[in-house]
Amino acid sequence: MYIAKVDSGFGEDEWRDFVVSQGFGHLAAAGEGREVPVVVPTQFILDGDEVILHLVGKNPLLEAIEEQPRVLMSVAGDWAFIPSAWKAIGDEDPLRGIPTTYYAAVQLEGSATIVSEPADIAAILRLQLAVIQPDFEIADPLDAHAAQLRTIRGIRIAIEEVRAKFKYGGNVNVEHREAVIASLEHRRGPGDLAAARQTRRRIEQAPQT
């Protein structure tokens, strides 16, 4: 993933907050000797320096991990298309504006470990459920779903490298970004308000030079 300097993350807190807020990504494993990697859309949680999730035991991603444990979790979101006219303010010609897309993307790379013991899988499910549905009381997975635990596998990914990109108009001045924010808040399409919030946050948190 190419990351221009103006789109680079401000620090660990920024990418962690984004990853936690999304909680869903695409996990890719190259395996060995495959023409293309295996890619699986999946829910997950970020627990310290680990990505934790579970998959059905028949998922081909598990075979790829067994071949080669290096994996990549790709998380992207809070995106919105910015039409060309939105890039012009004042007496600037709206026909000469350059359209773009605002978005955030974080890639977490590391080594994956497959968890197959039912008790250990149940521990992963407890962690996931505590994050995903904290307000709902549930039966303990090991007691209530012992048979089903044999059909799934847990995955723990030790994060070793992080690439974070927050593409929210960092290449233009604040006045142009404020105009885009106003247009996003007016349009209010899918992702627009999230992109507006990200743009506003990046303006307010930008390091002072």
Q: What is the pTM of this model?
A: 0.94
Give the model's confidence band at 161: pLDDT under 50 very low, under 70 low, under 90 confident, else very high.
very high
How far apart CA 157 and CA 149 sit, in angstroms, is 20
Contact by Cβ (8 Å): 132, 72: no
Strand partners for 74: 26, 107
Contact by Cβ (8 Å): 10, 205: yes
Contact by Cβ (8 Å): 180, 169: yes
What pLDDT score does 147 carry?
Answer: 86
Domain extents for the chain?
5-83+98-172
**pLDDT for residue 209 is more than 70:** no
- Domain 5-83+98-172: give its CATH superfamily: Electron Transport, Fmn-binding Protein; Chain A (2.30.110.10)
Smallest CA-to-CA distance from 169 within 95, 94, 86, 96 is with 86
Place of tokens 């303010």: 89
